């Protein structure tokens, strides 16, 4: 049985604040609001009920418990009329004081007088079901809420505005044109069947290339949701924790002159040049009989394996220069090589840390010596960049930020107008569609009956339709919106 009661939920986070916003949506939203709200001032002095209020107007008044006439709070109530509301239904938003008790009391009287608590994501689900947005736009709403960097927010806004929806529907329309053309061959014999099949093959290849570009963009888009992992590694007391504090913008790690202060991985979630980054400080690498320190060192190697970038720090104090060679090569190269062997090419940075303790020329000499030795030993292809850095004076910190942004820009496509995939569900649906289209191309090349290509193209359109919600099961819709927060 369908529950036609309006649904309500706080739209603001739990806790104490200046105001809380409680929203209600549904056919009888204004009727329920009239039972608990007394208008004191409205946009028109003749208005004395919520039901009389036009859309996009507000009224000042009191929330009252109808059971005993008690005043709960003085609030501002906003009305949004269908179909020009977020959900496409009549909506009411109540801005009350931001205390926990006030919010609970307003929710209580709403639910006792004809409303019900909203399910997770029910407001956005209503917007999807009423045609206000497709599934990619609905999912972009949660991406915007959870965005932890400027770049993630930018891409999410592009999706919300419908760029991904438009691209997928455009591709679906193009696929349908090919499908219709091939269907004509199935229904009616054509003298130039081979020509039509070849034309369809060429067009399908073009559509496959467009989908391939989207699929490849996921490598970059995934960094926005899963964060780029940057690991700070090196021997004990090489300045890793100091650099972590400088890059994160606050003192997260304990810094002492004692070697081996950090005995475990320490993570900081931050944003660098608009890119969401997971910075990991690690235990210094050395041979040790200490069981606890050994466990920390093993975690350092595990973190390095998963890193998008490993920054290897060499303390200027550790680089006694003699005859153009660094003693570091002899004393610490084995640990460095173990890390370098674990990671891919262009994923390693070598930095001389604590550069403020030596003059600029000596720091550059140290760096050149170490990089030359690393290249000589066959590990040059691992190096992404090198330089000098001082967490104390901030020398070189901006260069690290620039390099992190450059790595992000070079992952997948780049450019401010690009369309990126950030959602794994979208990625999987595109891969399924690509597989069907590729099979249809092969079937046309192999002189397989045209019906086979038609069936495969139809399946590819279904895969893309499931991405936008044009062809999707109720179960999948419920699953997607169950991941949303309550009140959105």
What is the token pair recorded at 409? 């820009």
Residue 409 belongs to some domain of the structure: no
Strand order in the sheet with 116-117: 37-42, 57-65, 70-80, 91-98, 17-25, 7-10, 116-117
What is the token pair recorded at 31? 């009727």
Q: Is the pLDDT of residue 186 over 70?
A: yes
DSSP bridge partners of 309:
230
DSSP bridge partners of 24:
8, 92
Q: Is the pLDDT of residue 320 over 60?
A: no
Q: Which has more pLDDT, 90 or 298?
A: 90
Count the alpha carbons within 13 Å of 468 in the hemisphere toward its beta carbon. 21
Residue 488 belongs to some domain of the structure: no
Q: Rounded to the nearest 5°, which phi and psi values hold at 115?
A: -100, 175
Residue 382 belongs to some domain of the structure: yes
Count the alpha carbons within 13 Å of 193 in the hemisphere toward its beta carbon. 15
**Same domain for 212 and 280?**
no
**Stretch 245-261: mean pLDDT, rounded?**
62
Biggest CA–CA distance in the chain, Å, is: 93
Alpha carbon distance 49, 45 (integer Å)? 11
Average predicted confidence (pLDDT) for the chain: 85
Contacts of 359 (CB under 8 A, 6+ apart): none
**Same domain for 263 and 175?**
no
What is the token pair recorded at 30? 């204004």
Give pairs for 361-369: CB < 8 Å, separation 24+. Answer: 362/316, 362/321, 363/316, 363/388, 364/388, 365/321, 365/324, 366/314, 366/316, 366/319, 366/321, 366/326, 369/319, 369/321, 369/324, 369/325, 369/326, 369/329
Residue 257 pLDDT:
52
pLDDT digits (tens, 9 = 90+) for 7-27: 999 999 888 889 999 999 999
Task: Give the N- to C-terminal CA distance of the chain in Å, as an integer.
Answer: 24
Alpha carbon distance 263, 147 (integer Å)? 31
Q: Of 311, 314, 381, 373, whose CA–CA distance to 346 is shortest?
A: 381
Residue 433 belongs to some domain of the structure: yes
Q: Which has more pLDDT, 345 or 129?
A: 129
Residue 365 belongs to some domain of the structure: yes
DSSP bridge partners of 93:
23, 78
Q: Is the pLDDT of residue 261 over 60?
A: no
Quick check: 370 and 380 in contact, CB under 8 A? no
C-alpha distances in Å from residue 346, one per residue of 155, 226, 313, 402, 488 = 26, 20, 16, 15, 42
Structural domain range at position 20? 7-118
Q: Is the pLDDT of residue 39 over 70?
A: yes
Query: For residue 258, how far is the Cα from the chain centroid?
Result: 39
The count of domains in the chain is 3
Residue 467 belongs to some domain of the structure: yes
**Same domain for 233 and 380?**
yes
**Same domain for 196 and 271?**
no
DSSP 278-323: EEEE-PPP-----HHHHHHHHHHHHHHHH-SEEEEEEEGGG--EET
CATH code for the domain in which residue 238 is found? 3.40.50.300
Q: Which has more pLDDT, 190 or 301?
A: 301
**Same domain for 238 and 369?**
yes
What is the torsional sign of CA 294, 296, 302, 308?
A: negative
**Same domain for 232 and 375?**
yes
**Same domain for 378 and 266?**
yes
Residue 415 pLDDT:
45
**Same domain for 244 and 381?**
yes
Q: Is the pLDDT of residue 262 over 80?
A: no
Q: Of 386, 353, 348, 380, whose CA–CA distance to 368 is shortest?
A: 386
**Same domain for 214 and 234?**
no
Residue 94 pLDDT:
97
**Same domain for 218 and 234?**
no
DSSP 121-173: THHHHHHHHTTSS-HHHHHHHHHHHH--SHHHHHHHHHHHTTHHHHHHHHHHH
CATH code for the domain in which residue 74 is found? 3.30.1360.120
What is the token pair recorded at 49? 């009920």
Residue 322 belongs to some domain of the structure: yes
DSSP bridge partners of 77:
59, 94
Alpha carbon distance 119, 172 (integer Å)? 32
**Same domain for 247 and 363?**
yes
Identify the band that residue 414 occupies on the pLDDT scale cut at 50, 70 and 90. Answer: very low
**Same domain for 88 and 200?**
no
């Amino acid at each position: 049985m369908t529950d036609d009661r309006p649904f309500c939920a706080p739209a603001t986070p739990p806790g104490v604040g200046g105001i809380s916003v409680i929203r209600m949506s549904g056919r009888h939203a204004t009727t329920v609001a009239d039972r608990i709200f007394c208008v004191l001032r409205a946009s028109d002095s003749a208005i004395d009920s919520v039901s009389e209020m036009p859309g996009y107007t507000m009224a000042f008044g009191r929330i009252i418990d109808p059971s005993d006439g008690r005043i709960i709070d003085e609030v501002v109530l906003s009305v949004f009329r269908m179909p020009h509301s977020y959900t496409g239904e009549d909506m009411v938003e109540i801005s009350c004081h931001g205390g926990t008790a006030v919010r609970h009391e307003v929710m209580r009287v709403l639910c006792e007088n004809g409303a019900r608590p909203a399910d997770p994501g029910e407001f956005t689900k209503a917007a999807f079901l009423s045609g206000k947005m497709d599934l990619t736009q609905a999912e972009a709403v949660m991406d915007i809420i959870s965005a932890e960097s400027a770049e993630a927010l930018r891409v999410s806004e592009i999706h919300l505005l419908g760029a991904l929806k438009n691209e997928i529907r455009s591709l679906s329309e193009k696929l349908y044109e090919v499908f219709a053309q091939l269907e004509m061959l199935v229904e009616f014999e054509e003298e130039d069947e081979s020509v039509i099949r070849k034309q369809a093959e060429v067009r399908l290849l073009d559509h496959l290339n467009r989908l391939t570009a989207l699929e490849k963009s996921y490598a970059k888009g995934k960094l926005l949701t899963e964060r780029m992992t940057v690991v700070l590694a090196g021997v004990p007391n090489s300045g890793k924790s100091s650099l972590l504090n400088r890059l994160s913008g606050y003192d997260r790690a304990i810094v002492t002159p004692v070697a081996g202060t950090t005995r475990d991985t320490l993570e900081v979630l931050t944003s660098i040049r608009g890119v969401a980054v997971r910075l990991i400080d690690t235990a210094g690498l050395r041979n040790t009989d200490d069981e606890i320190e050994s466990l920390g060192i093993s975690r350092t190697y595990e973190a390095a394996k998963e890193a998008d970038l490993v920054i290897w720090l060499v303390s200027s104090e550790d680089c006694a220069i003699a005859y153009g060679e660094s003693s570091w090569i002899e004393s610490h190269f084995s640990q460095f090589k173990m890390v370098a062997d674990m990671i891919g090419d262009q994923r390693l940075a070598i930095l001389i840390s604590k550069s403020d303790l030596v003059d600029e020329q000596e720091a550059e000499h140290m760096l050149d010596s170490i990089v030359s030795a690393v290249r000589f030993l066959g590990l040059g292809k691992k190096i992404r960049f090198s330089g000098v850095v001082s967490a104390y004076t901030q020398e070189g910190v901006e260069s690290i930020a620039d390099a992190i942004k450059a790595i992000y820009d070079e992952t997948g496509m780049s450019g401010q107008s690009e369309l990126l995939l950030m959602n794994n569900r979208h990625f999987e649906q595109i891969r399924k569609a690509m597989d069907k289209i590729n099979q249809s191309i092969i079937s046309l090349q192999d002189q397989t009956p045209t019906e086979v290509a038609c069936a495969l193209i139809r399946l590819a359109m279904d895969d893309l339709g499931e991405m936008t919600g044009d062809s999707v099961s109720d179960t999948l819709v419920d699953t997607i919106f169950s991941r949303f927060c309550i009140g959105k």
